[in-house]
């Protein structure tokens, strides 16, 4: 039951963000779901964006990457999803957190400033990029 509620909240958040772009005059085309529907590529005539839905920020980011001069919480996206986004000409990333906070960054700035590393997850080791949220643009909450 919990996963069904999570899916509904995720879909509702994506829809709200897409509607924001439509109010700005963007013409919505369609959605490409990726990462087990936790992420989507929202395709507009004007540009494509990657929208991620996250439970919470990467709280230990600043501690783990203090040697790079980073502080505070971060965000992480796996390499596979970034490659897929590149194939689909994604220009921006929007990260939505469960508390309604929304952050955005160009994919170029993300890849330029992020740290590439390997993390251990329940389904194996994955290459990811992480960067501090303070380098993102803070958007209006959903």
Provide the pLDDT for residue 83.
95
Fold of 2-136: Trna Endonuclease; Chain: A, domain 1 (3.40.1350)
Closest C-alpha to 13, from 60, 55, 43: 55
Residue 7: predicted pLDDT = 56
pLDDT < 50 positions in the chain: 1-2, 5
User: Residue 124's pLDDT is what?
Assistant: 78
Q: Is the pTM of this model over 0.95?
A: no
pLDDT of 36 reads 79
Q: Where are the domains of the chain?
A: 2-136
89, 32 contact by CB (below 8 A) = no
Return the pLDDT at 10: 64
């Amino acid at each position: 039951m919990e996963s069904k509620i999570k899916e509904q909240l995720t879909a509702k958040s994506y829809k709200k963000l897409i509607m924001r772009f439509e109010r700005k005059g963007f013409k919505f085309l369609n959605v490409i779901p990726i990462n087990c529907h936790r992420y989507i590529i929202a395709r507009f005539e004007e540009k494509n964006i990657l929208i991620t839905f996250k439970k919470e920020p990467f709280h230990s980011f600043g501690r783990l990457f203090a040697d790079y001069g980073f502080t505070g919480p971060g965000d992480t996206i796996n390499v596979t999803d970034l490659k897929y986004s590149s194939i689909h000409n994604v220009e921006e990333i929007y990260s939505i957190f469960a508390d309604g906070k929304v952050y955005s960054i160009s994919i170029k700035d993300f890849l330029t400033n992020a740290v590439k590393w390997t993390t251990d997850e329940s389904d194996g080791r994955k290459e990811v990029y992480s960067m501090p949220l303070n380098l993102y643009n803070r958007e209006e909450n959903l």
